[in-house]
Structures are given as C-alpha cells and as structure tokens.
Amino acid sequence: MQLRYSFRLYPTVIQRAALARAFGCARVVFNDALRVREDARAAELGFVTSAELSRNLTASKKTPERAWLGEVSAVILQQSLRDLDTAYRNFFDGLKGKRPRVGAPRFKSKRDNRQSVRFTANAAWRITPGKKLRLPKVGDVPVRWSRTLPSTPSTVTVVKDAAGRYFASFVVETDTSEVLPETTPEIGIDLGLGHFAVLSDGTKVDSPRFLRRAEKSLKKVQRELSRKEKGSSNRNKARIRVARAHARVADARREFHHQLSTKLIRENQAVAVEDLAVKGLARTRLAKSVHDAGWSAFVSMLEYKAARYGRAFHRIGRFEPTSQVCSHCGVKDGPKPLNVRMWTCGACGTVLDRDINAAVNVAKAAGLAVPACGAQVRPGPVPAQRSETGTHQELPNASSRWEQIGIPGL
C-alpha cells in the first residue's frame, strides 16, 4: 500500500520566493486549463482532452504573456493539469454514485489556505547526502527528519499551509514486513462526546477537547485580527497568528488520534466501529463539539493502520440500535434520551452502562468475540430461593431459638 510521510521544511528567504513563484505558476496553469474547459462547455463544444491542454500549455510558454512559466520546473505544471483531471473525475464519479458527491472544479486563488506543488520522479529531485531536499529551480531545502522513510519515495509534494509553514509530503510503497504478530483481543468502539472512545472491555478514553481548551487564546487573537485595518501589514500578521493558533489545535488533535489508533491496532486483532452520520451531527447544536472530536479522521486512521499491520477492521451500519439493545440478553428496550447514562434491562434486570453496552453491541454486530457480560456494571437482583421466601415465624423462647441454630440451651 502507499503511505504519505510529511516532514517540516525550513526554506531560506530566496527559496521561499522560488516556491512562491512555483505555487503561482501551478495555480495559473490550473486556472487557464479550467477556463478553457468551461468556455468549451458554455459553447456546447466537446470536452477538451488532457493532450490538447498540454499542447496549449507548451504554446503559451512561448508567448510574451506567459513566458515566465519557464522559470519553474515543467513537471509541476504538468502535474497541475493532472490535478484538474482528477478534480473532474471525482466530480463525475460523484454524479454517477461511484463515490461521495463533491463540487465541480473551481478556480484557485493566491489567498487559498493551502498552496502546493508536486514533483514526480522525472523532475530530478532527490535527497542530498547532507539530508536536504534538492528541488529543481528551488535549491537544497533543509528538512527536519523525524523518522526514516521505509522505502524510496516516488513523489514529493511541497505544501504551504495557512500558518506559513512548509511541509514535504513523500509517497512511499510499503510491503508486508510490517504485519504484526497475531493477538487475541477483539474490541468494539463506541465514539462519543463525554468520552472520546469507550471500548467493549470497559475501558473509557476521555475526550481531550482541544478546541474547547484553546477557546480563550483563540478568542484573543481573533479579536486582535478584527481590529486591524483591512489590507494592512498588521492585519496580515494578525491573520498568521490566528492561523498558527488553529494549527496548534489541529496538530494536537491529530497527534492524539495517531497515538490512540496505533495503540488500539497494536493491542487488538480486530476492531469494530460504528458508521456515524458526522455530517448530520455537524448541523445540530453539538456541531462545535463534533468537529472538535474529529471522529472521521480517527476512524480513517484505524482503517488504514489495520490494513497496514494485518489487523481486521469492521464498520457496522449507522442504523444499528447499539444503545437500545441489552448486550446481556439481546432484548431491545427502546430508545432513551441522551441524559440516561445508566439503565436497567426490563427483561433480565442487568444494570447497564449506556456507552459500554453500545461498544459491546458494536463488537457483536461485527461478529467479534466479546465477554458475555462485558457491559454489565453490577449484577442485578437475584431471586430468593423458594424456601427462603415469606416471613420467618418467631420461635417461642430464647432457648429454643439457640437450639434451632445449633447451639445447646444454657
């Protein structure tokens, strides 16, 4: 399978100018090609092919208006055309129902939060003996290597985010040597807001709530941004401070997701989760908390790490009544409001924790082996024996009472 490894770049001032030139050229090529196709669609002409767009690009580089396109690597310009083809393919596949729907390709702006260019193998980029990234017409860019690449990368994408940080994203191929040895535990996971994740073995993982904890500092920098004059240099500096504050929150959340997902995949042979309707929940009053949790990103990490390390990953349907069924006897007890965190099964009398019970039902719906009473908090009332029912008659005197329990009378 293919994986991406991202590393922080620290380009010099001259290299930043070269990268800005590359970002701008790639954006102009993308917008020119999109305009050609949109004009052809408006004129009810045929779909302009990629080969024709490539010929138009070669011709435009020879004109005085677009001669500056030759100042950057030709590979990133061709890759910009490939990105446009991918955008159209995803749009049409969404209309056909082959994938989730996405919007039509749009024109890019220099004010977009993310700028990127991609270098393939034929761009003659490489990692120097001094552990720097040599990019054509940019130079040797310092890289902070946090880990070793498992194999030789095929492509590298240079990204600039809204906070002004630069990253190098490498695409590498992995083999089956990373498959972990088999283990016994199999778990179901119930994702929530009170606790980020509740496992079928009774483990509860608290929700870090990174956005909620950073709201005070975010409010301060956003207030400073709103007071700056539009178009001024101070406003641009304040915008970068806001972007960096949000980037710190996103980085902390991503790190938490990576650590938890890796731990669960390493310790369990199979993992089951519920397919949550995140888009629907994001339109409710819980929208901020739902986005702060980041369930979709966490489930995606579980899925690809399970495939990478040879684990089983199961995703059950979102309409499975995991919170309504008793995991002890299997009787459906009906829906319950969110404020009900503990409930007693009316059929078997088992006292259940709502989240642990849901996690056990998730594992059972996926066909995983879970403890029979995994969701039971404490045993329910045990019926008395038939001989012990009723009211005991009082003994006539104390001496006979002592003799009744086996002690001779005094």
Point out the residues that are catalytic.
190, 274, 355
| Gap between the Cα atoms of 178 and 256, Å rounded | 22
The neighbouring-strand residues paired with 376 are: 352
Residue in 212, 225, 404 with CA at minimum distance from that of residue 294: 212
Residue carrying structure tokens 């024709």:
52
| Gap between the Cα atoms of 299 and 288, Å rounded | 19
| Gap between the Cα atoms of 180 and 177, Å rounded | 8
Beta strands in 73-228 (DSSP E): 115-119, 126-127, 132-135, 139-144, 155-160, 166-173, 186-191, 195-199, 204-206
The structure tokens listed for 266 are 């390493």
| Gap between the Cα atoms of 37 and 180, Å rounded | 48
Q: Look at residue 373 and give its three-state secondary structure.
A: coil
Q: Look at residue 362 and give its three-state secondary structure.
A: helix
Task: Sort 110 into a burial class: Cβ within 10 Å, 0-12 / 13-18 / 19+.
Answer: exposed
